Every structure is written in C-alpha cells, then in structure tokens.
Homo-oligomer: A and B are copies of this chain.
Amino acid sequence: MCKKTVKVAMIGMGERGKQLMEPLLKMEDVTVTAVCDAYEDRTVAAAQTVEKENGNVPFASCDYKEVLARADVDVAVISTSWEYHIAIAIEAMHRGVFAAMEVGGTYNLQECFDLVEAYEQTKTPFFFLENCCYGRRELMCLNMARAGAFGEIVHCDGAYKHDLRKEVSFGKENRHYRLPHYIHHNCENYPTHELGPIAKILGINRGNRMVRLVSMASKSRGLAQYIRDTKPEDSELLHTEFKQGDIVTTVITCENGETVTLTLDTTLPRIYSRNFTVHGTKGMYQEDGDYVFLEKDLTVDIAEIDVDPQKIWKNADKYGEEYDNDLWKHKSEGMIAGGHGGMDYLVLRAMLSAARGESYPAIDAYDAAAWMCITALSEQSIANGSAPVEIPDFTNGKYKNRTEKSSGKYALDF
C-alpha cells in the first residue's frame, strides 16, 4: 500500500494539540511539516518532539498565518483555545489548506455563518474533529439506528459530565483557556461530544434539523467551593466570581419531532459520563447502566424486569457482536495506541481519508456550525430566563436533500 504522504501543520500545541500530534507522528502516511502555538515555549517543544520522533525539522512559528501560507502544508490541525478555532479554520480554507478543527462551542453565532460561508466560497474541505462520533457505543447505536433496531427514534440524551474543576481553577498556572470562559460566560459551553453522535443518528443536516432550544443553568457553587478547599492561598481566585452555572440543561426540538437533552456538568465532583441515550419505538440504548433494551428480545413480562431493572445493565457488549462498527470489531494497532480509547485515531483517519479526497468529510462545516452554535444560543436562552431560541439552518434549506455524504469505512451519514 503506497499512499501519498499528507503534510500536516499543527496549530495549537497545548495538551490537546500534543494528544493529537502523538498518533499523527506514528502514521507512515503523515508528515508533520509545521508546528505553531501562540506561546513560543510550546512551539519550540513541539518542533523538538517532531524531530525526535520523526527525524524531520518542522517549520515552527508563533504566527498561524505564516504556517498557513506555506506550500508544504496540506492539512491544518487546529487545536488552539476555542475562541480562535473558527477564525483559523476560515483562514486555512481561504489559503486552500484543508482545515481539521478540534471541537468546542462558540459564543459567537455569527462565526458559525462565517465558517459555512468560507466553505461555500472556497470549497476547501473542512473536517470537524469530533472524536466522540467514533466512540464504540456511538457507532454501534448509529448502526442500530440504520438497521431500524430502535424503531422510530423519538428522543436522545447526551451530556458532558466531566469534573474539570482542577483544570479550570488551575487555569492561570497551566495557561488553560477554560478559566476565563467560566468567569465570563454561562451556557452549554461544550455541546459537541454528545450532540455530534446524536445529530448523526437523527440525520441533522441530512433531512432533519434542530429548530429550537431552551436552556437553564443552576447556580454556580462548585468552582468556588473547590478553590476554597484546594487553593485557599490564591486570593485572586478566592474572590473570583464564576458566572458559569454548575449544571446547564438544554432541550432541543428537531424538525422531525425528536427532542434532545444536553447536560453540561463540569464543576462538581462526579464520575465521567456522556449520558448517551437513544430511544425509539422499538427500544433504546443508555450509557448509564450501559444497556440495550429491545422489545423484540423481551422474553418475560416487562413487569418482571421492572422489579429489578439492574438485571439488564451492562448487556451492551452482547449487542456489539451484531452491531459494533467494523472499526471496533477489528481494532487496529494504531487505534489501540491512540488517545481516548481509540476515538482519536479513528477521527484522525476519517479526516485523512477526506483530506485525500476518498470521501466527503464525515463531519463537515454545516455540522460544525449547527453543533457549535448551541453554545451561543444557550447563553442567549439562559440570559433571557430560559426563553426559547430558534436554531438557524446553516444549510439554507439544503438539509432537505443533501447529495454530498460521507462514505467508506469512516462514513457517519445515513
């Protein structure tokens, strides 16, 4: 197998940039030709890593525009702080550089329109690196949905339940972008890990679209308590007021009548969950409990199970035998070595497949705009006492009958 090497520029070399570069450096058909971060020390360190791992000396700069102007860059992997993602992606597209953008929401609705406009003007492909679309259960449920196993799907849940108090409150020390966000904003600030896989299952931007949301935020107590407990000497932080509510609940209605709930839960003690749930007229999957419940497989009266529902818990692996995506049935070595249990490797391979022109991007600019805008719109709803907010159609009507769809082994579209 001889494939043309893809020349990748890494823009943004914080923790996530390093995580993404690691599997890329191991891929034989990829060369990291440039590295970039606003902080010089990170840029230098990244260049050293590339040289050490792969032998080549990459172009290194703190100015992403310099990087994007270079001839030896096919793909820009953008993993800066959230607020610069879209601007850099747009610049890349205008330079004819394939833009592979790390996830996050946006507080600025206009940016979502700008992203789509840049894609439509330039036709430079764009890929949104939502790794959770390639999670094992998420792909299994996509297969089950395609096979009709859930019947007609009427509701999905998703969440980003991840205790980030340490990361946020040590934001100054570790230069983490989340700290100012939690001080100045109150919204569903990280919707795409859960919404992405759900949107694919519900055919959002492919025959369906999200039309309206409402959002509610609890009070903000978790970070302040954590700082009192762990950083009592930091008087500046100790007196910082955090605007971000601890739990934000957002409910979305889709044109085809489905509802979707999203929960942000990042500043209280807890265990990790994306609370991924798909529910239809013939059955369901739920992450908390890790169970599939299909009516056709019911051999006793449901009342017998309702007495002890835990009987069903943790049965999802069994359904994997039939419905797991082949990517998970036959895990590659690179996947096992890659981050986040294999998802990072898969989303990068899907991106590279699109960068080579083998498929329309599995997650495109319309997807990114639709998923990221939830942050801005939830902020608006919360600021207005949970008033309903309309969700724009970034495809301008094209969602009704899209022809470009992802294909091949990394396909996510029906």
Contact = CB atoms under 8 A, between A and B. Distances in A.
Interface stretch (A2-10, A282-290, A400-408): A282-290
Interface string A294-317: 110010001001100110111000
Interface in A207-252: 212, 214, 216-219, 221-222, 225-226, 245-247, 249, 251
A163 interface: yes
Interface string A383-410: 0011110000000000000000000000
Contacts of A310: 290, 314
A155 to B, nearest CB: 4
Contacts of A39: none
Nearest to A269: B295
A281 interface: yes
A148 interface: no
Nearest to A152: B221
A315 to B, nearest CB: 11
B272 A218 contact: no
A293 interface: yes
A273 interface: yes
A268 B306 CA distance: 14
A226 B310 CA distance: 25
B216 A214 contact: yes
Given A154-B218, A286-B288, A289-B289, 16 more contacts: A152-B225, A154-B221, A154-B222, A154-B246, A162-B306, A163-B306, A214-B388, A246-B281, A268-B281, A268-B284, A269-B283, A269-B293, A269-B298, A271-B306, A272-B306, A272-B309
A389 to B, nearest CB: 10
Given A268-B281, A314-B310, A386-B253, A155 B218 contact: yes
A221 B265 CA distance: 31
A200 interface: no
A388 B383 CA distance: 13
19 contacts: A154-B222, A162-B306, A214-B251, A214-B388, A218-B259, A219-B256, A221-B281, A247-B259, A268-B281, A269-B282, A269-B284, A269-B294, A270-B279, A271-B291, A271-B302, A272-B305, A288-B289, A289-B289, A387-B388
A217 B251 CA distance: 10
A334 interface: no
B279 A268 contact: yes
Contacts of A271: 291, 293, 302, 305-306, 309, 312
A245 B273 CA distance: 27
B258 A386 contact: no
Contact of A216 (B253, B291, B302): B253
A384 to B, nearest CB: 9
A251 B382 CA distance: 12
Interface string A255-281: 011110101010011111100000111
Contacts of A314: 310
A310 B282 CA distance: 26
B251 A268 contact: no
Contact of A279 (B265, B293, B385, B386): B265
Interface string A128-161: 0000000000000000000000011011000000
A226, A258, A283, A388, most chain B CB atoms within 10 A: A388
